[in-house]
């Protein structure tokens, strides 16, 4: 069994901290729109208290929601076990659930200089060189296991 970790692998096992770190970008973007709305309401001479409270609460909710979606789509680890491959997202590491394995004979991997693409559970996954320190070893693992299957 071969296992490779990406640069997105969480350094801590505290889900709250990792989700909040991923949500900071979304908090900032949504808060800019809330602040613009506050400025427009101030210019119109309207009350801004309820808009600000609701807007920033919405920013926190949407920021956390979007962060969780991002963590589900960000791959942290790839396993090669026999004739199967398994991709583990950051979300799967933080909130353990059943991992899925996919037969390598259906993966049909392809490689360019900067990425590896392959099929995994009815989707095409692209692993970028900049995210994986052992990029070339991952490709070799596809190649070695595929040679054993054929």
pLDDT digits (tens, 9 = 90+) for 1-56: 788 999 989 888 899 999 999 999 999 999 999 999 999 999 999 999 999 999 99
Of 68 and 144, more confident: 68
Place of tokens 């040679």: 147
| Strand bridging mode 110-111 / 102-103 | unpaired
Q: Where in the chain is the domain with CATH 2.30.29.30?
A: 2-8+77-149
- Average per-residue pLDDT for the chain: 88
Question: What is the model's pLDDT at position 2?
Answer: 80
- How is residue 14 written in tokens? 């505290």
Q: Where is 114: in which H helix or E strand?
A: none
Cα 27 from chain centroid (whole Å): 17
**Fold of the domain built from segment(s) 2-8+77-149:** PH-domain like (2.30.29)
Band of the pLDDT at 147, cuts 50, 70, 90?
Answer: very low
66: confidence class by pLDDT, cuts 50, 70, 90: very high
Q: What is the pLDDT of residue 146?
A: 45
């Amino acid at each position: 069994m071969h296992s490779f970790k990406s640069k997105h692998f969480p350094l801590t096992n505290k889900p709250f901290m990792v989700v909040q770190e991923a949500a900071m970008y979304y908090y900032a973007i949504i808060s800019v729109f809330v602040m613009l709305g506050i400025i427009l309401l101030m210019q119109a001479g309207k009350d801004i208290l309820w808009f600000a409270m609701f807007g920033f609460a919405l920013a926190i909710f949407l920021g956390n929601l979007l962060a969780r979606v991002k963590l589900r789509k960000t791959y942290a680890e790839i396993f090669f076990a026999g004739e199967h491959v398994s991709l583990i997202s950051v979300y799967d590491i933080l909130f353990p659930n059943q991992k899925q394995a996919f037969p390598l004979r259906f993966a049909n991997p392809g490689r360019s200089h900067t990425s590896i693409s392959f099929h995994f559970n009815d989707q095409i996954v692209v692993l970028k060189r900049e995210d994986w320190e052992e990029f070339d070893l991952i490709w070799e693992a596809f190649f070695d296991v595929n040679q054993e299957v054929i």
